[in-house]
């Protein structure tokens, strides 16, 4: 573990950004942090540099991404179908199966050195879920979990009614994280009909807009979510 603990976290709002561009961006930050940790281990404690943390929020044009443990058969479109839907497709290096990203969705990529917080990947996932659950509660919506499945669900205790509102998929190396979560706020849910989301074929997908019956303010939702992440992780957030 690093001798120097740093909870200072840089907040980066990338707005609507191409998936590949965002993937390259977070990969660069991830690789730099891992490299710094490796260098630190060669040094005395007094000479070690604190590792940085980043909280990236953004959204993407229509895109389907398949995790390393996923099955491409869960994508129900061929190349022509992707073109017709103006969507792209990537096989990526996170956990999990297939998911969709698109406009009106809040995508979070925390690039954290968990040595600065806690070294427990399950706790990390649960706190990401909790931030979304608390955000839903701000809108009087009861979100929760389903045992054995990641993500945040509505009516998860009723198998015939359970619907996912936030998907999770992460990668970590030397306790540094990348990838993250996708929270459906104003998302066009029709795009989920072209996949078997996360490889689960018996559960529906929903959005905050659908649950509320009206359009929430996306920026307000993002701000509430960010504040819950700050409280749960104890971030000291900087925005410069």
What CA–CA distance (Å, rounded) separates 186 from 184? 6
Task: State both tokens at 155.
Answer: 């009516």
In the structure encoding, which two tokens stand for residue 184, read together?
A: 């459906």
Q: Which residues pair with 105 in a beta bridge?
A: 184
pLDDT at residue number 201 = 62
* Residue 6 maps to a domain: no
Q: Quick one: pLDDT band at residue 4, thresholds 50, 70, 90? A: confident
Query: Is 195 a member of any domain?
Result: yes
Portion of the chain with pLDDT greater than 90, in percent: 84
User: Residue 49: is its pLDDT beyond 60?
Assistant: yes
> pLDDT (tens digit, 9 = 90+) per residue, 24-46?
999 999 999 999 999 999 999 88
Which stretch of 71-80, 114-123, 183-192 has the lowest confidence by average pLDDT?
Answer: 71-80
What is the pLDDT confidence band of residue 198, given thresholds at 50, 70 and 90? low
3 falls within a domain: no
Number of domains in the chain: 1
Residue 58 in any domain: the answer is: yes
Catalytic residues: 198
User: For residue 197, is it within any domain?
Assistant: yes
Nearest CA to 178 out of 29, 50, 12 is that of 29
Nearest-angstrom CA–CA distance, 20 and 34: 21
Instruction: For residue 83, give the CATH number of its domain.
Output: 3.30.930.10
Asked if the structure places residue 188 within a domain, the reply is: yes
pLDDT digits (tens, 9 = 90+) for 163-179: 999 999 999 999 999 99
Question: With DSSP H G I counted as helix, E B as strand and the rest as coil, what are the percentages for the chain, rounded to 5?
Answer: 35, 30, 35
5 occurs within a structural domain? no
Q: Is residue 240 part of a domain?
A: no
Helix (H) or strand (E) holding 14: strand 8-16
What residues make up the domain containing 185?
13-234
């Amino acid at each position: 573990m690093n001798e120097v603990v740093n909870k200072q976290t840089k907040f980066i709002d990338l707005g609507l950004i191409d998936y590949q561009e965002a993937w390259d961006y977070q990969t660069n930050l991830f690789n730099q942090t891992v490299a710094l940790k490796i260098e630190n281990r060669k040094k005395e404690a007094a000479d070690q540099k604190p590792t940085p943390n980043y909280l990236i929020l953004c959204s993407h044009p229509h895109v389907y991404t398949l995790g390393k443990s996923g099955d491409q058969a869960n994508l129900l479109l061929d190349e022509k179908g992707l073109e017709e839907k103006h969507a792209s497709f990537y096989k990526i290096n996170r956990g999990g199966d297939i998911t969709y990203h698109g406009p009106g969705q809040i995508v979070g990529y925390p690039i954290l050195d968990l040595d600065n917080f806690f070294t427990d990947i399950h706790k990390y996932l649960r706190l990401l879920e909790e931030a979304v659950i608390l955000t839903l509660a701000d809108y009087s919506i009861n979100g929760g979990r389903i045992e054995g499945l990641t993500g945040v669900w509505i009516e998860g205790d009723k198998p015939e009614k359970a619907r996912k509102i936030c998907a999770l998929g992460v990668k970590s190396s030397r306790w540094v994280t990348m990838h993250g979560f996708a929270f459906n706020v104003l998302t066009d849910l029709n795009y989920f009909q072209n996949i078997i989301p996360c490889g689960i074929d018996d559960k529906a997908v929903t959005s905050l807009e659908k649950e509320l019956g009206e359009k929430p303010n996306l920026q307000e939702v993002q701000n509430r979510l960010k504040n819950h992440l700050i409280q749960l992780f104890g971030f000291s957030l900087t925005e410069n």
